[in-house]
Amino acid sequence: MLKRMIAILGALWAFSVSAAEPVRTVGIYVQPYYEAAREAGSTPRVRVNKQFDALFASAKREDIVAARDGVAAKPQLVTPMTLMVLAIRLYDMGLRDDAVFWFYAAKERAIVLAQVLDMRARGLAQADEAVRSFAVLAGPVINGYAFCDLGKQREILAKAIDWVEQNPYAVMFMDRLPALPGDRPANHRRAIADARARAAKERAQLDGAKAVAAFKAARRQNGADEKYCWK
């Protein structure tokens, strides 16, 4: 499961081939947790965190910023799913660099969690599946913007991994939740090292003028710049 999760979450810089129109919102549905607004002027339905749901569902930019600040102030028990919704709503509000950061933080927190806890356990499997659904559905949009600027994308990803290391998800160390074999703190440290190694591998895949040129050509072919790099 872990290898499949990493493969799914790590390959999200592939872009869909659709009409090259600016993508200004993340219009996804992950039942029963999130439903994007179905029409202009309406608001999403959110059920991921009682503390932040009303803020996430607001059409006001200041409410989404307040939710972001609340998460940043006390992140220890904030689920990866909550971070995913935060990223989506930040993108919807045009705060796209913030959206990229929190999307990567959500993704890396989820992958690290799966290297410490047994995500097959009852009560964890459903949340694990939901996070992967958020990542697969929202990833093409958020990464579509992130890869407008390769240097900035690498910088934000590195900062997100630092954040995951500096703000360990407290759930990993709760005795009532089943863990994978081994020492939990040691598994956590290995998971962070793995995250940095994956980031380095991603950088290497786009290292050099030839690789960058091919990547940019692919984006031009499928209209990614028009869809995601609007100002």
For the chain, what is the domain count?
Answer: 1
The DSSP annotation for the chain comes to -HHHHHHHHHTTT-----------S---EETTTEE--SSTT---EE-S-TTTHHHHT-S-HHHHHHHHHHHHHS-TT--HHHHHHHHHHHHHTT-HHHHHHHHHHHHHHHHHHHTTB-TTSTTTHHHHHHHHHHHHHHHHHHHHHHTTSHHHHHHHHHHHHHHHHHS--GGGG-TTS-B-SS-HHHHHHHHHHHHHHHHHHHHHHT-SHHHHHHHHHHHHHTTHHHHH---
Model pLDDT, residue 194: 98
pLDDT of amino acid 19: 54
Assigned domain for 28 exists: yes
84 assigned to some structural domain: yes
Angle at 158 between CA 91 and CA 102, to 5 degrees: 25
* Inside any domain, residue 52: yes
pLDDT tens, residue by residue, 138-149 = 999 999 999 999
The answer to whether residue 147 is domain-embedded is: yes
pLDDT of residue 20: 76
In a domain, 15, yes or no: no
**What pLDDT does residue 39 have?**
87
Q: What is the pLDDT of residue 2?
A: 37
Is the alpha carbon torsion for 46, 172, 87, 52 positive or negative? Answer: positive
Residue 40 confidence (pLDDT): 80
Assigned domain for 80 exists:
yes
Q: Kindly report the backbone phi and psi dihedral angles of residue 135, in degrees, each rounded to the nearest multiple of 5, phi listed first.
A: -65, -45
* Residue 16 falls inside a structural domain: no
Q: Which domain holds residue 157?
A: 2-10+22-228
Beta bridge partners of 117: 179
Residue 121 lies in a domain: yes
- Parts of the chain with a pLDDT under 50: 1-18
